[in-house]
Structure 1
Amino acid sequence: MNLSEIPRVSHITKEDFIENYFKPQKPVVIERAIEDWPAFRKWNLSYMKDVAGDITVPLYDNRPVQHKDGFNEPHATMKMADYVDLLKAEPTKYRIFLWNILKEVPKLQKDYTFPDFGLRLLKGLPMLFFGGKDSYTFMHYDIDLANIFHFHFDGEKEVVLFPQSETKHLYKVPHSLITHESIDFSNPDYKEWPALKNASGYKSTLSHGEVLYMPEGYWHYMKYNTPGFSMSLRAIARNPKNLAKASYNIFIMRYYDVLMRKLKGQDWIDEKNEKAIAKTNEVFRVSN
Structure 2
Amino acid sequence: MPKDTKLVYPRAAAAKEADHPRRREHEQSERPEREPVRPVQTVDLDAELQQIYDDALLAGLSPSEVQSAFKAEIYFPKKRRPVGKWLVSAAVVPLAMLLYVFFYRAEMIDTNVAALEDYLQDTQCLVEQSALTMEMFRPLAKCEAMCKDLGDTFPRVDNITREDFMKNYAGTGKPLLVTGVASQWPALKTFSYNYFRSLYQNHSSAVRVNEEECQFFSYGCNITTLTDLLAMPDDRAHLEGDFVPWYIGWSNCDERVKRKLRTQYTVPHFVKLTKDDAENLDWMFMGSSGPGAFIHVDSVEKPSWQAQIVGSKTWTLYPMPECESVCPGKLEATMRKGDIILVDTNNWYHSTFIHPGEISITIGSEYSRE
**Structure 1 length-normalised TM:** 0.57
Structure 1 pair 216–133 and aligned structure 2 pair: CA distance change class (3 A): closer
d(CA) in 2 for partners of 1:84, 1:209: 26
User: Does the CA contact (< 8 Å) of 1:49 and 1:84 recur in 2?
Assistant: no
Task: Report the counterpart of residue 223 of structure 1 in structure 2.
Answer: 353
Shift of 1:46: 4.6
Task: Report the counterpart of residue 152 of structure 1 in structure 2.
Answer: 308
Q: Is 1:30 the counterpart of 2:30 in the alignment?
A: no
Structure 1, unmatched stretches of 5+, are 64-68, 170-197, 239-288
Structure 1 pair 199–53 and aligned structure 2 pair: CA distance change class (3 A): farther
d(CA) in 2 for partners of 1:167, 1:137: 22
Q: Is 1:78 the counterpart of 2:228 in the alignment?
A: yes
Please, what is the CA RMSD of the aligned residues?
3.5
Structure 1 pair 133–146 and aligned structure 2 pair: CA distance change class (3 A): same
Task: Report the counterpart of residue 218 of structure 2 in structure 1.
Answer: 60
Alignment of structure 1 residues 62-211 onto 2, 5 Å: 62=220, 74=224, 77-80=227-230, 82=232, 85-87=235-237, 88-89=239-240, 90=242, 92-100=244-252, 102-103=254-255, 105=257, 106-120=259-273, 122-124=277-279, 125-144=281-300, 146-165=302-321, 200-211=329-340
Shift of 1:31: 0.9
Aligned length: 200
- Cα deviation per residue 1:132-159 (whole Å; 9 max; x = unaligned)? 2114211112212521101112111111
Structure 1 pair 104–228 and aligned structure 2 pair: CA distance change class (3 A): farther
Name the structure where strand makes up a greater proportion of residues: 1
Task: Report the counterpart of residue 19 of structure 1 in structure 2.
Answer: 167
| Amino acid aligned to 2:330 | G
201-210 or 117-126, which moves further after superposition?
A: 117-126
User: Does the CA contact (< 8 Å) of 2:179 and 2:340 recur in 1?
Assistant: yes
Shift of 1:52: 4.2
d(CA) in 2 for partners of 1:91, 1:168: 40
- Cα deviation per residue 1:242-262 (whole Å; 9 max; x = unaligned)? xxxxxxxxxxxxxxxxxxxxx
| Amino acid aligned to 2:354 | Y
Structure 1 pair 75–49 and aligned structure 2 pair: CA distance change class (3 A): closer
User: Does the CA contact (< 8 Å) of 1:98 and 1:128 recur in 2?
Assistant: yes
124-133 or 94-103, which moves further after superposition?
A: 94-103
- Cα deviation per residue 1:195-235 (whole Å; 9 max; x = unaligned)? xxx97121011111110010252221012114212112112
| Amino acid aligned to 2:352 | M
Structure 1 pair 97–79 and aligned structure 2 pair: CA distance change class (3 A): closer
d(CA) in 1 for partners of 2:233, 2:350: 25
3-state secondary structure, aligned to 2:261: helix
Structure 1 pair 224–166 and aligned structure 2 pair: CA distance change class (3 A): farther
| Amino acid aligned to 2:191 | W
Q: Which has the larger radius of gyration?
A: 2
